[in-house]
Amino acid sequence: MYRLTDAQKAKVKDLLSQMTLEEKIGQMNQESVSIVGGFDVPFEELIEMMTDGRISQEEFEKIMSTAEQDYHEDDIRAGRVGSLMVQEPEKANELQKIAVEESRLGIPLMFGLDVIHGFRTVYPIAIAEAGAFDPDLFQRTASMAAKESRTQGVNWHFAPMLDVARDARWGRVSEGPGEDPYLVSQFAKAKIKGLQGDMSSTENYVAACLKHYVAYGACESGRDYNTVSMANSMLYNAYLPPFKAAVEAGAATVMASFNDLNGVPCTVNEFTLRQILKNGYKFPGFVVSDANAIRECVNHGIAADEPEAGVQAAIAGMDVDMGTQIYKNTLQEAVESGKVPMSVIDDAVERILSVKMWLGLFDHPYVPEEAMHRYDTLPTEHTDLAREAAEKSIVLLKNEGQILPLNKSQKISLVGQLADSREEVIGAWAMSWREKDCVSIREGLENVGAEYKYFPCCGPETDINEDEVAQACAYGDVIVAVVGELDSMSGEASSKADISLPGKQRELLAKLLATGKPVVAVLMNGRPLALKWEAEHVPAILECWHLGVQMGNAVANVLMGVKAPEGKLASSFPAVTGMCPIYYNHPNTGRPGGRSKFTSRYLDAGFESLYPFGYGLTYTTFAYDNMTVAETKDALHITVDVANTGGRAGVETVQLYMQDVTASIVRPVKELKGFAKVALDAGEKKQVSLTLEKKDMGFYKDSGEYVLENGKFCVYVGGNSKDCLMEEVELAF
Ligand code: GLC
């Protein structure tokens, strides 16, 4: 929990009182390494030069290969840098030594990095891990990442990413916990506890950074960085809740998002930054811009030039400038000319110094020598945790004829270039992993003792090798085809206008199916895919996402039945791309989708998702019965009997939804309000109890006012957002 003692607060105020204006602004400057030798510009600007074509990709790569990296030692010595991005402990200590021992006040640097789903021990991408519906797991993986990264000098994670996302065309849907505000909020609270909670030593915790604040996932057309427009009630009810929950959980920092929101870029949006976050939520930490985002406010057309963008950002509540040097170069003049009050600077710097104080950097600024190599070899407890997270994130979408699990008497044709790749198990946004720590699906089958032969055949970007297909079709009793996306096809700047299986992979599946042999499609992907054809033709489909270093072992364990799949979908899957955005918690409309032509549907695709939020099968079946709802003063108490009606043990995620049937603004047809995982042996039945606090049954109006409105509510329980038992209740709050 990010909180300061009174003594620490006094030290921060005392330090602030000694600082010059230049030193104060220095704390607000996150320097990016500059590429020197031909192009002496901040790294982000070099990216921008490549993006807008001023230099080619080849020139960019040549510069990067030949350039020196300037970490601005002179600026650090002069107190003009507050934080940097590094991931080598020696470099971190070298720069920290300059700040602590050579600058006038010795204020330590913060070192940030994108540690989104693991540092050395990379675990599943968030859209996958969220599907485990397991807050304890979310916390444990985050805590592992915090410990590993601190040994490399990183004390600030630009994570968790909490963007509710409903449009799988957006590449960054891979980085976040899905489409539902409640699940994203549970994920958020658990990640904050994991990253910041173990303060037994400064080696065990880091500052979290909630991003991207706010509503970045609602970018129009699913196109990254695109404009966002929505009613404030939608902002309050669907996109802000995870940030509110994470601030209440004690998050130390927040990162503003690139997008404009209702016409005002979030980088300079006083309404979201000051009115909601700092004043409304009483957020005590600091806000950092996204990379280069203050400079991009000129592109947005909200600022005429960079100095003006800097003034707008500071006044709006942006405490730290990531990577543009605009604060460093222009804010002093802005303050001296009265454009920016000194109180704005003092507030920002007090927030920054407070986080550094809380991180223990004034007492322990350096990475201890003995810690640096602690994780050169990943400890078994870390790889075991990564494999547990991976296994729990796998979602069984289809299993016609119970093809799965496979058994060791079967000869398996393992097909697809992705099956033999270690790199591609990692997923988007991991920076500190090592290939030697990764287990490919092929290696996983080896490790589990399956009898298989491997045939590359085809990848996301290659043609089909007909000879290899013929060999694959001839060899195996069963064919396991690993198909999906490369890591580079999801994540930042990776929006796609067609989210069906890339390349010729669908054609490959058709060839394999033509044999008449059982075919299992194992998906490796970073976003929900449009799988209409696959769902109609492929008998077994296992959604395996990008699961991190232990992916191979986890997939093999589930394929061979060592583990039963228990994951659920944190995001709806469309049948075809044109249905995006698609999500379960939508309003009913005046003409709810149905069979009639004159309802809210597509002539060529109906209206329902192919696979709904919360959906996932396992190697047994469950039945729900005897739902009851009992009302007490402050809550509804729901019970339901869940029986394992199949022949194997399994774990079910029982989900609790509600619907406010009639309200002063239209409300979603369902809203997730709770879940519980239950393990059941074959034939076993348990009563599951869930509680819905009445205070959580309200919603925000456009004004931001939270209201509880009397009337009829529907309460649902089930194993996904579509197939549920339901009870009605009349409530008067
Ligand atoms: C990127 C991303 C953000 C990341 C930052 C620093 O552009 O938008 O998520 O934390 O830059 O790498």
Distance 255 CA to ligand 1 centre (A): 9
The per-residue b/e assignment along 297-318, b for 16 or more CB within 10 angstroms, e otherwise, is beebebbeebbbbbbbbbbbbb
Residue located nearest, by CA, to atom 11 of ligand 1: 291
CA atoms of 301 and 278, how far apart (whole Å): 25
Distance 31 CA to ligand 1 centre (A): 14
Among 114, 154, 170, 494, the mutation site with the greatest number of ligand 1 atoms within 8 A of its Cβ is 114
Closest among 167, 165, 128, 163 to 577, alpha carbons compared: 167
pTM given for the model: 0.96
**pLDDT, tens digit (0-9, with 9 covering 90-100), for 494-514:** 999 999 999 999 999 999 999
Residue located nearest, by CA, to atom 7 of ligand 1: 291
Distance 51 CA to ligand 1 centre (A): 16
pLDDT at 475: 98
pLDDT band at 554 (very low <50, low <70, confident <90, very high): very high
Residue located nearest, by CA, to atom 12 of ligand 1: 114
pLDDT at 308: 98
CA dist 329 to 38, 109, 140, 225, 310, Å? 22, 19, 41, 26, 10
Distance 291 CA to ligand 1 centre (A): 6
Q: Is 290 a catalytic residue?
A: yes
**pLDDT, tens digit (0-9, with 9 covering 90-100), for 181-239:** 999 999 999 999 999 999 999 999 999 999 999 999 999 999 999 999 999 999 999 99
Distance 242 CA to ligand 1 centre (A): 19
Distance 290 CA to ligand 1 centre (A): 6
**pLDDT, tens digit (0-9, with 9 covering 90-100), for 263-316:** 999 999 999 999 999 999 999 999 999 999 999 999 999 999 999 999 999 999
Q: Is the pLDDT of residue 39 over 70?
A: no
Does ligand 1 lie within 6 Å of residue 492's CB atom? yes
Q: Is the pLDDT of residue 38 over 60?
A: no
Does ligand 1 lie within 6 Å of residue 320's CB atom? no
pLDDT at 36: 65
Instruction: Please give the angle made by the CA atoms of 592, 595 and 600, to the nearest 5 degrees.
Output: 35
Does ligand 1 lie within 6 Å of residue 291's CB atom? yes
Instruction: Please give the angle made by the CA atoms of 253, 256 and 259, to the nearest 5 degrees.
Output: 165
Six-digit token string for 353: 């110094």
Least confident segment among 10-24, 279-293, 504-518, 587-601: 587-601
Does ligand 1 lie within 6 Å of residue 114's CB atom? yes
Mean pLDDT (the chain, rounded): 96
Burial of 54 (0-12, 13-18, 19+ CB in 10 A): exposed
**pLDDT, tens digit (0-9, with 9 covering 90-100), for 157-175:** 999 999 999 999 999 999 9
pLDDT at 35: 64
Task: Find the catalytic residue in 180, 224, 260, 290.
Answer: 290
pLDDT at 64: 75
**pLDDT, tens digit (0-9, with 9 covering 90-100), for 415-449:** 999 999 999 999 999 989 999 999 999 999 999 99
Task: Please tell me the chain's helix, strand, coil percentages from 3-state DSSP, rounded to the nearest 5.
Answer: 35, 20, 45
Among 158, 214, 431, the mutation site with the greatest number of ligand 1 atoms within 8 A of its Cβ is 158
Six-digit token string for 663: 């309200």
Does ligand 1 lie within 6 Å of residue 31's CB atom? no
Instruction: Yes or no: say if 123 and 141 are a contact pair by the CB < 8 Å rule.
Output: yes
pLDDT at 322: 97
Does ligand 1 lie within 6 Å of residue 290's CB atom? yes
Task: Provide φ and ψ at 498, rounded to 5°.
Answer: -140, 115
Q: Which ligand 1 atom sits closest to the C-alpha of 114?
A: 10
Instruction: Yes or no: say if 680 and 652 are a contact pair by the CB < 8 Å rule.
Output: yes
Say what percent of the chain tops pLDDT 70.
Answer: 98
**pLDDT, tens digit (0-9, with 9 covering 90-100), for 306-350:** 999 999 999 999 999 999 999 999 999 999 999 999 999 999 999
pLDDT at 61: 76
Q: Is the pLDDT of residue 37 over 60?
A: no
pLDDT band at 51 (very low <50, low <70, confident <90, very high): confident
Strands 286-288 and 41-42: unpaired
Six-digit token string for 401: 């004829």
Least confident segment among 43-57, 423-437, 479-493, 559-573: 43-57
Amino acid at 351: R
CA dist 481 to 25, 241, 394, 519, 567, Å? 55, 39, 16, 7, 20
